[in-house]
Amino acid sequence: MDLRQLEIIRAIADTGSFTAAGEKLHVSQSAISRQILLLEEELGEAVFHRIGRRIRITPAGEALLQLSHRVFQDLQDTVTAIGEKQESLRGTLRLVGGMTVCLYVFPTLLSEVRRVHPHLDLKVTVGSTDRSIAMLRSGGGDLGLLTLPIDAADLVSVPVLEEELLVATYPTHPLAKKRQIVAADLNKQAFILFEAGSITRRLVDEFFTRERIEAEIVMETENVEIIKAMVRNGLGISIAPWQAVAADVRAKALFVSRITGHPLLRRTGWLYPKMSRLPRTVAEVLRVFETVRPRLAASAQAPKNL
């Protein structure tokens, strides 16, 4: 069996006759008949039944017809992929993500994407989870990097990073003087937190409920830079990801600590619409991300000796 025979089967099924198949493929009817005969001898089974001038495909022929569809589609996809790799990646890629991702993940990623694909136009939109998902669904965004979990059956979700959430205070806060912080130490504290409804806030609220912590929420915002500024100026404490506060901790502008016995982790992942074949721009950004992923993962991990 060869590709030409599969092509002939498709032509016969499409046209309904050996003669018409020959005309479609620009060969004689006898050549078509000869190839089908050779194939049937090889299989030991009929591929088509001849009923007068009409033909009917057999179960064996139907199986080969389905095989031909798969084979020629794979060939087309392979040829397309090879051609794409030879061409410079162009076009526009629209990324969506939350504030922390846009501040601490996208710069590293997009710098590498720009180096590898200098002609790709990159656009970034900062937004809440709900807004980002809406953009992905409407076509306003191609690829999102968001806090998980997200329950969306029409979107593909791929976890890629995990980071630790830590208690952040100003350096002279009483909690900064304790060798260890336990859950009870957070009771009745004034908190500046991510806005209600965000997945990070939900993780924190679930922790508060589980440990029966009564927190005084004095401010809510999705902007992590605002949260840090308020904490630095003594307006409250927060629970924030390490990569967002690392520079402030090193500069001694903030103090962070783990909650003994209660590690708080949040996962970040790619989201994109389900489709039979990813656009090349999306696939390439995902590929480039994997090359910088170890560096990003390391920067998201807080030191063990906090």
Residues forming beta bridges with residue 190, ordered by sequence position: 216
Written as six digits, the tokens of 247 are 């520079």
d(CA 31, CA 10): 15
Radius of gyration from C-alpha coordinates of the chain:
30
What pLDDT does residue 80 have?
Answer: 67
Which tens digits make up the pLDDT trace of 149-171?
999 999 999 999 999 999 999 99
Distances (CA, A) of 155 to 284, 285, 293: 18, 17, 22
What pLDDT does residue 83 have?
Answer: 59
Distances (CA, A) of 201 to 99, 124, 222, 291: 14, 23, 9, 30
Which tens digits make up the pLDDT trace of 42-93?
989 998 888 877 888 999 989 998 998 888 888 887 776 665 554 567 889 9
pLDDT-derived band at 206, boundaries 50, 70, 90: very high
d(CA 226, CA 213): 24
Round the average pLDDT of the chain to a whole number and report it. 91
Q: What percent of the chain has pLDDT over 90?
A: 63
What angle in degrees, to the nearest 10, is found between the helix axes of 242-250 and 224-232?
40
pLDDT of residue 136 exceeding 90: yes
For each of the domains in the chain, give its residue range(s) and CATH number, in order of start.
3-86 (1.10.10.10), 91-161+269-299 (3.40.190.10), 164-266 (3.40.190.10)
CA angle (101, 103, 109) in 5-degree steps = 70
Which tens digits make up the pLDDT trace of 211-267?
999 999 999 999 999 999 999 999 999 999 999 999 999 999 999 999 999 989 999
Is the Cα dihedral 278, 282, 287, 292 positive or negative?
negative
CB atoms within 10 A of CB 250: 9
pLDDT of residue 298 exceeding 70: yes
Name the strand (E) or helix (H) holding 217.
strand 216-220
DSSP assigned state of 244: H
d(CA 10, CA 39): 14
Q: What is the pTM of this model?
A: 0.68
DSSP assigned state of 253: S
d(CA 183, CA 185): 5
What pLDDT does residue 89 have?
Answer: 77
